[in-house]
Amino acid sequence: MADRLDYYFRQKVTEAELDLAFELLEKADRNLAADIGAYGIISGAEPTPHAPVPDLTIDLTAPGRAYDNLGQRIFFGTGQTVDCAVDFAGIPTEVPSAGQERWLGIFIKFDRLLSDPRTDGNSQQVFFRRDETFEIFVRQAPPGPIGSAAKVALQPDELLICDVRRGNGQTQILAPDIDTGRRQAFIFAQGDAVQIISGTWSTLQPAVDTVQSSFDEVDAELTDHFTGSARRHGASAIDIPAHGFVSATNVEGAVHELIDDLSSTASGTPGAQKVGADAVPGTPNALPAGTVDGQLSQILAWLNAHVGASAGAHNASAIAAVAHSYIAGTSVQAQLQEIVTDLGSQAAGTAGASRVGADAVVGSPNALAAGTIDAQLAALLSAINDHLNDANGAHSASAVSVADSGGNLTANNVEAALAEILDAFEDDHFRGNEGNAGQHRTIRQPNLGGTKALLWDAIGIGGAAGRLRVYADTTSIWFTLNASWDGSQWVRDSTSWFSGGFRFSRSDIEFLHEDTFDPTFTTWTSTWTLPMSSTNNSAFELSGTVREVGRVGMEWSNADNATRTLAGGGAVTFRSRFPAAPSSITFAVSNASSGFSGSPSTFTPDRDGFGFFSYQSISGFGTAWWFGTYTAIA
Amino acid sequence: MAIHEVTPTDVLQRCEACNDEHRVLIDDLEVGVARDEQVDGRLVPMPPCPACGAVEFLVRAPDDEPEHPSQGSFGHLHRMLVDELHAELVTRGRVNAALQDAEGNVPPTLAKPLSTEKRQRWFADGLRARRKIEQAGRVFEEENL
């Protein structure tokens, strides 16, 4: 109720008294709202980005109804557009710096709209109507870093519709920029001001019997229930209508039945049979709509057929593979090719052997550490090279086998073979650890057969004229140069050179010479033979063409005092026995006395020599001589 | 000296002392060298070399001499040339008087001529004998006749 004015009979009512009556009624009305505590935006005034094209204004839906804290009614009947580019004082709301934002507060406030002006008795203009209206205020808070900018404080005589966020360079206000979290929605009355009766309640036990306390209790109960911390109830307490293959009518029974049915492994009624599955398209296989059981059976059949296929299941390129280690391919085919390529690689550093691991190999003196084949091959090669380059002490020769493909040895390893060879060698040679190492001891040869056995054949420094051969026959040893025996004749190594040699036996020694240049010959053109076992054995006996030059001389002295013819002479013995009597003897003077006449004459020549004589007429007590040379040819 | 060719009229002689070559008429030659009362009928004295004065005596083979041990050698060929020249001189009567008897005959065994067979075998192209030069050379050469 309102305070009342009791106007009385014949009272002259003043303007102020009439206004007071309205004010008291209006005050009672507002006191009612204030006493109840009702205030806030009841409906409408919902903020949205400006339509149709968002800009820096927002739209408020109509009709809008609200009460402020003084119980004054705020109402607008048409949609409102609020310019957020400036605040209520006309100051721009833009954000000057990047990385910052600014909050705007959109408020609505009660106001009165004066209208219908009239002139009162004092000739003053007054407005006869003062209708309720509203006013919208845009207030801006200072800018701050994005996410932490402060919002505009609530105003005591205004209602906050929403907060609007402005950003740097912003040209549109969109839905995310509008925040209604702090919107001052309508509150009808304070809950703790309304009492309830809880005496018969079985669950709720509010601290005090007020609506607020009861709601708090309900909230706590629901919170406990919804969070599961308390006030849970059994699933059997939740009804559920029977459905499908589930016949139970409460949640617990339905869940149990569902679990039992789904976990069933019974043949013919497995759980998968209870689960439906839609059709699955595919090529070459597709699944029709059915149950999981049916589709699993079909897939199993396909899988078994695929896995059991011995060939042609599908291309390896169709099998995906995850890149691993150095294999980058993403299919089995690609990875297999990459593996083959990598294993066949001969590139330094990435050779195929470097891709293959190998465990450690024990051994002595060498062992291989665990690593790659490449590393172990390198280690082996190094060990082999070290072995081969080892100047001494690599290992015992007895550890090296001997193949002996020719079957020449009894030994089966190098140590024994060397010993065997050295045993044979040292019979006729000095060993390496003896003086005169490698030189021959006695050279012994068995019967070599043939007519003349070749004992030695030496080329010397390579000239055919100096090629030495030594032969042996049944009686003699032959040393020849540029002549070899082919079994029936002598053969020249070179037809540009003479052949020569000598032969000795137990009975004679013979020097040999052949000067025909014929490729072969059977007799030597000249020989010098010393017949050691002959009766006459003091000189060489010659064969072939013989030419000997020697000294011969005579001197006479006439012991008479008258001229006399004196005979002089002597004999010459050839140095060697000619093959026959000489066919020519020539005397050549070297020095003769002035009175010497003619030339010496020869007499009775034979193969051993000749006689010579001369007759000279010499004056009394005179002397004559002749000294010269002879040349004998046979 | 040695003889290298015998023709019907002369003999090609090469001096062993100075190597001078010259021809000597057969008619200027004679078989036999007398010493006191002895005469060696196997000898044929040659005239002194016109170049150096050396004197050569050709010697016929002894009667009982066997076949030459080096058949075909210069020594063998020279032996046969000398025997043939000696026989030719005997045939021509070019014999030292001391070898002749009162009737001017010579002993039938004085000459030792070549058999036809040997002449055909060794001297089919004439009575010539070639002798190799000293054997220091590498290549075969023939001595100039």
Tell me the CA distances in angstroms from A630 to A403, A586, B18, one per residue in order. 74, 5, 13
B31 touches A at CB < 8 Å = no
The H-or-E segment that residue A28 falls in is: helix A15-36
**Three-class DSSP category at A620:** coil
Of A526, A545, A584, the CB nearest to B1: A584
Q: How many CB pairs under 8 A join A and B?
A: 128
Residues of chain A with Cβ-Cβ distance to B1 below 8 Å are 584, 586, 631
AA letter at B97: A
Q: Which of B71, B73, B122 to mutate to test the interface with A (most CBs of A within 10 A)?
A: B73
Select from B43, B13, B17 the least CA-distant residue to B110: B43
Select from A521, A522, A499 the least CA-distant residue to A512: A499
Asked if B16's CB is within 8 angstroms of A599's CB, the reply is no
- Collect all residues with Cβ–Cβ distance below 8 Å to A76 and sequence separation of at least 6: A44, A45, A60, A62, A63, A64, A133, A134
Contact yes or no for A157/A129 (Cβ under 8 A): no
Contact yes or no for B15/B54 (Cβ under 8 A): yes
Q: Specify the residue for token string 């398209």.
A: A281
Q: Does position B31 have pLDDT exceeding 60, yes or no?
A: yes
B54 touches A at CB < 8 Å = yes
Residues of chain B with Cβ-Cβ distance to A547 below 8 Å are 16
Q: Which two three-digit tokens encode residue A162?
A: 């929403």
Q: Please identify every stretch of chain A with a pLDDT value under 70, giving residue numbers as ranges.
A: none
Dihedral over alpha carbons A364, A370, A374, A379 (to 10 degrees):
-30
Of B52, B76, B132, the CB nearest to A515: B132
- Collect all residues with Cβ–Cβ distance below 8 Å to B31 and sequence separation of at least 6: B41, B43, B44, B86, B89, B90, B94, B95, B96, B99, B110
- Collect all residues with Cβ–Cβ distance below 8 Å to A226 and sequence separation of at least 6: none
Instruction: Spell out a b/e string for A523-539, using b for 16 or more CB atoms within 10 Å of the CB, else e.
Output: bbbbbbbbbeeeeeeeb
Write a three-state SS string for A264-313. Answer: CCCCCCCHHHHCEECCECCCCCCECCEEHHHHHHHHHHHHHHHHHCCCCC
Question: Burial level of A181, CB count in 10 A (0-12/13-18/19+)?
Answer: exposed
Rounded distance between C-alpha atoms, residue A238 and residue A232, angstroms: 12
A172 touches B at CB < 8 Å = no
- Collect all residues with Cβ–Cβ distance below 8 Å to A272 and sequence separation of at least 6: A291, A292, A293, A296
Q: Which of A482, A578, A585, A586 to mutate to test the interface with B (most CBs of B within 10 A)?
A: A586
Rounded distance between C-alpha atoms, residue A469 and residue A480, angstroms: 5
Asked if B53's CB is within 8 angstroms of A589's CB, the reply is yes
Asked if B65's CB is within 8 angstroms of A586's CB, the reply is no
B84 touches A at CB < 8 Å = no
A186 touches B at CB < 8 Å = no
Q: Give the distance from CA A220 to its chain's centroid.
A: 67
Q: Which of B13, B15, B35 to mutate to test the interface with A (most CBs of A within 10 A)?
A: B35
Asked if B135's CB is within 8 angstroms of A513's CB, the reply is yes
- DSSP 8-state secondary structure symbol assigned to residue B124: T
Q: Which two three-digit tokens encode residue B10?
A: 């002369």
**Three-class DSSP category at A612:** strand
Rounded distance between C-alpha atoms, residue A566 and residue A620, angstroms: 11
Residues of chain A with Cβ-Cβ distance to B131 below 8 Å are 545
Q: Around Cβ A554, how many Cβ atoms within 10 Å?
A: 20
Residues of chain B with Cβ-Cβ distance to A544 below 8 Å are 69-70, 73, 75
Asked if A545's CB is within 8 angstroms of B70's CB, the reply is yes
Q: Around Cβ A494, how many Cβ atoms within 10 Å?
A: 15
Q: Around Cβ A601, how many Cβ atoms within 10 Å?
A: 21
B142 touches A at CB < 8 Å = no
Asked if B65's CB is within 8 angstroms of A580's CB, the reply is yes
Residues of chain A with Cβ-Cβ distance to B66 below 8 Å are 580
B137 touches A at CB < 8 Å = no
Rounded distance between C-alpha atoms, residue A373 and residue A363, angstroms: 17
Strands, E, within A84-209: which ranges? Answer: 100-119, 125-140, 144-145, 159-167, 178-179
Contact yes or no for A513/A502 (Cβ under 8 A): no
Alpha helices, H only, A426-572 = none
Tell me the CA distances in angstroms from A174 to A166, A182, A185, B68, one per residue in order. 10, 18, 22, 150
Residues of chain A with Cβ-Cβ distance to B70 below 8 Å are 523, 525-526, 543-545, 579
Question: What local confidence, expressed as pLDDT, does residue A30 receive?
Answer: 86
- DSSP 8-state secondary structure symbol assigned to residue A46: -
B52 touches A at CB < 8 Å = yes
Q: Which of B37, B55, B60 to mutate to test the interface with A (most CBs of A within 10 A)?
A: B55
Question: What local confidence, expressed as pLDDT, does residue A47 receive?
Answer: 96
The confidence band for B143, taking pLDDT boundaries of 50, 70 and 90, is very low
Rounded distance between C-alpha atoms, residue A299 and residue A222, angstroms: 48
Question: What string of DSSP letters covers A352-419?
Answer: GGGGSEE--B--SS--B-SEEHHHHHHHHHHHHHHHHH-SS-SS-GGGSB---TT---S-SBHHHHHH
Rounded distance between C-alpha atoms, residue A399 and residue A623, angstroms: 97
Rounded distance between C-alpha atoms, residue A100 and residue A145, angstroms: 4
Residues of chain B with Cβ-Cβ distance to A599 below 8 Å are 48, 53-55
How far away is chain A from the Cα of B129, in angstroms, using its nearest Cα? 12
Question: What string of DSSP letters covers A142-161?
Answer: PPEETTTPPPPPPPTTSEEE
ipTM: 0.86
**Beta-strand relationship, A609-618 and A601-606:** antiparallel
Asked if A544's CB is within 8 angstroms of B48's CB, the reply is no
How far away is chain A from the Cα of B103, in angstroms, using its nearest Cα? 26
Dihedral over alpha carbons A274, A275, A280, A284 (to 10 degrees):
-60
Q: Nearest chain A Cα to B58, which residue?
A: A584
Rounded distance between C-alpha atoms, residue A632 and residue A549, angstroms: 6
- Collect all residues with Cβ–Cβ distance below 8 Å to A263 and sequence separation of at least 6: A271
Contact yes or no for A270/A294 (Cβ under 8 A): no
Q: φ and ψ at B37, to 5 degrees?
A: -95, 0
Select from A124, A125, A126, A129 the least CA-distant residue to A114: A129
Rounded distance between C-alpha atoms, residue A140 and residue A91, angstroms: 9
Rounded distance between C-alpha atoms, residue A44 and residue A171, angstroms: 26
Of A567, A602, A631, the CB nearest to B17: A631
Rounded distance between C-alpha atoms, residue A100 and residue A95, angstroms: 7
Rounded distance between C-alpha atoms, residue A402 and residue A404, angstroms: 6
Rounded distance between C-alpha atoms, residue A352 and residue A372, angstroms: 10
Q: Which of B16, B31, B58, B78 to mutate to test the interface with A (most CBs of A within 10 A)?
A: B16
CA gyration radius for chain B?
16
The whole-number average pLDDT for the span B108-134 is 86
Question: What local confidence, expressed as pLDDT, does residue B132 receive?
Answer: 62
Tell me which residues of chain A, numbers 576 to 615, contact chain B at a CB-CB cutoff of 8 Å.
Answer: 579-589, 599-606, 613
Q: Around Cβ A169, how many Cβ atoms within 10 Å?
A: 9
Contact yes or no for B42/B86 (Cβ under 8 A): yes
Q: Which residues sit opposite A472 in a β-bridge? A: A453, A477
pTM for this entry: 0.48
Question: What local confidence, expressed as pLDDT, does residue B1 receive?
Answer: 56
How far away is chain B from the Cα of A450, in angstroms, using its nearest Cα? 27
Asked if B61's CB is within 8 angstroms of A583's CB, the reply is yes
How far away is chain A from the Cα of B50, in angstroms, using its nearest Cα? 12
Rounded distance between C-alpha atoms, residue A107 and residue A552, angstroms: 173
Asked if B131's CB is within 8 angstroms of A545's CB, the reply is yes
Rounded distance between C-alpha atoms, residue A633 and residue A542, angstroms: 12
CA gyration radius for chain A?
75
- DSSP 8-state secondary structure symbol assigned to residue A334: H
Q: Nearest chain A Cα to B1, which residue?
A: A586
**Three-class DSSP category at A512:** strand
How far away is chain A from the Cα of B36, in angstroms, using its nearest Cα? 9
Strands, E, within A159-275: which ranges? Answer: 159-167, 178-179
Rounded distance between C-alpha atoms, residue A494 and residue A499, angstroms: 9
